[in-house]
Structure 1
């Protein structure tokens, strides 16, 4: 437990908040549109399991440009 005291939370907390916000926005976008490059359920799993990288990959490759 003493290792958690030494963690620089003031540097890690903004990254965690950014990750959660990006995941929520990506999940809302997938659920609303359902028109993606590939199966939308696959993108949901990529967003959830891929953390911040999964959300970025969805916004770069997953959205369908109509």
Structure 2
């Protein structure tokens, strides 16, 4: 258990970043009806279950034109 405590200064900002990215991407997926690839269900699954890379992939490739 003591081994994990020394990594907390690195892990806490990483966890906060992951949650913020996931929430931002999820809100965007739910509010906007147009996507370059796939549909709403696909992007919700990608954003929620593929940790940090899911939201990054959505913002890079899935987000449609406004």
Same structural fold, with TM-score higher than 0.5 when normalized by the shorter chain = yes
Aligned to 1:41: 41
User: Are 1:14 and 2:2 an aligned pair?
Assistant: no
- Secondary structure of the residue aligned to 1:6 is helix
Give me the TM-score of the superposition, normalised by structure 2. Answer: 0.88
Work out the CA distance in 2 between the residues paired with 1:52 and 1:10: 18
User: Are 1:62 and 2:62 an aligned pair?
Assistant: yes
Work out the CA distance in 2 between the residues paired with 1:18 and 1:34: 25
- Unmatched 5+ residue regions in structure 2? none
User: Are 1:27 and 2:26 an aligned pair?
Assistant: yes
Q: Looking at both structures, which has the greater relative contact order when contacts are Cα pairs under 8 Å and sequence separation is at least 6?
A: 2
Output the aligned Cα RMSD. 1.0
Give me the TM-score of the superposition, normalised by structure 1. Answer: 0.88
- Unmatched 5+ residue regions in structure 1? none
